[in-house]
Amino acid sequence: MTATTDELLGRCVTSWSPGARGIANVVRLSGGASQETWSFDVVHPRGDFGAILRRAPEGYGAAPERAAGLAAEAVLMQQAYQAGVPSPRVLHVLTAEDGLGTGFIMDRVAGETIPRKILRDEEFAAARPKLARQLGKVLADIHGLPLSQLPELRRMTAAAEIAELERDYRAFSGPRPVFELALKWLRDNDPGPSENVTLVHGDFRHGNLIIGPGGIRAVLDWELAHLGDPMEDLGWICVNSWRFGEIDKPVGGFGTREELFAGYEAAGRSADPARVMFWEVMGTLRWGVMCCGMMQRFRTSPERSIERAMIGRRSSETEIDLLRLLAPRT
């Protein structure tokens, strides 16, 4: 962070945290050109506390097509928090006076997001058997947020999603018979628009869930939130790519679909296993197409990121998973 941005952040903090003396331990966590995540501590006489800044720097206001936008993300996070969804408290929404671009500042929630630790470390042994059911309830609560209070979001259907995936696949990759098979299957098995249209988180999976020894602590990253079939979220978290080797535990490598559905239904909503399976196929193809997109970005961006290059070579993982779903050998 340049000195100026650091100063701006320090000044901004005193505007919403009365008595704050400044900031410390500023670290950039991640982010590409359009979105950044920073961690810092607010120095306060009544006790320092951790905070996260999520922002698009000035000049990067335009959100990519799929993104809900940071302003919408902040509103969704506030509403989720108020509805009892485990969620960081939003402390401040950036204003033009802050000079920090668009975005917001939220509580830093302690816990783990790294899948291999969550799935293997002793610290989470007691959480693992409970997680799928807990996440079912969390999703039910997200899907229960009143539509009338939501910010403006994209309305998506399976048919629109298939068309987008097809367009992206053809833009990013040469011919792939397995992807073609999956697209054909999706078109032939599209269950039609959902009777039930709700808020969909859009990226509910490892990496966006903060886990502690007692289970779920916070849901992050509402960037892909939209309105649509709630079963999409249940299917996405079952995609094999998020099982990290624990392939017999479909929900994030820690639980069963039945546990996920039981938690969802205990919270008063009903799960539709056939639709969930449809969205799992869609999600598997979607991640595969995203891997192809990473390859394209590697090839066209001056950065030459080895990580992106290698994610490009993971699209074949989704091909074997699609075959396991659509053409099982036994």
Q: Do residues 321 and 304 make contact, with C-beta atoms less than 8 angstroms apart?
A: no
Assess 180 for contact with another protein (CB under 8 A): yes
Which pair of tokens denotes residue 310?
């290698």
Question: φ and ψ at 231, to 5 degrees?
Answer: -65, -15
Alpha carbons 162 and 168: distance in angstroms, whole number: 10
Residue window 236-265: x/- pattern of binding to another protein, with contact defined by CB under 8 A = ----x--x-xxx------------------
Q: Write the CB contacts of 143 (distance below 8 Å, at least 6 apart in sequence).
A: 198, 199, 200, 230, 233, 269
Residue 326 carries which side chain, given as an amino acid letter? L
Q: The tokens of 159 are what?
A: 């048919």
Q: Does residue 309 belong to the site contacting another protein (CB under 8 A)?
A: yes
Of 62 and 247, which has the nearer Cβ to another protein? 247
Q: Tokens 């994030």: give the residue.
A: 252
What is the chain's alpha carbon radius of gyration, rounded to the nearest angstrom?
20
In three-state secondary structure terms, 114 is: coil
Confirm or reject binding of residue 25 to another protein (CB under 8 A): no
- Residue of 228, 246, 238 whose CA lies nearest to 283: 238
- Report in angstroms how near the CB of residue 181 gets to another protein at its nearest: 5
Q: Which of 18, 47, 177, 302 binds another protein (CB under 8 A)?
A: 177
Residue 28 binds to another protein (criterion: CB under 8 A)? no
Of these, 97, 152, 303, 307, which contacts another protein (CB under 8 A)? 307
Between 243 and 257, name the residue whose CB sits nearer to another protein.
243
Give the shortest CB-213-to-another protein separation in angstroms. Answer: 25
Sign of CA dihedral 238, 243, 245, 249: negative
Nearest distance from residue 29's CB to another protein, in Å?
11
The count of residues interacting with another protein (CB under 8 A) is 32
Tell the burial category of 183 from Cβ atoms under 10 Å away from its Cβ (0-12, 13-18, 19+).
buried
CB 247 to another protein: min, Å = 4
User: Is residue 174 close enough to count as binding another protein by CB under 8 A?
Assistant: yes
Interface contacts to another protein, rule CB under 8 A = 174-181, 183-184, 240, 243, 245-247, 306-307, 309-310, 313-314, 316-317, 319-321, 323-324, 326-327, 329-330
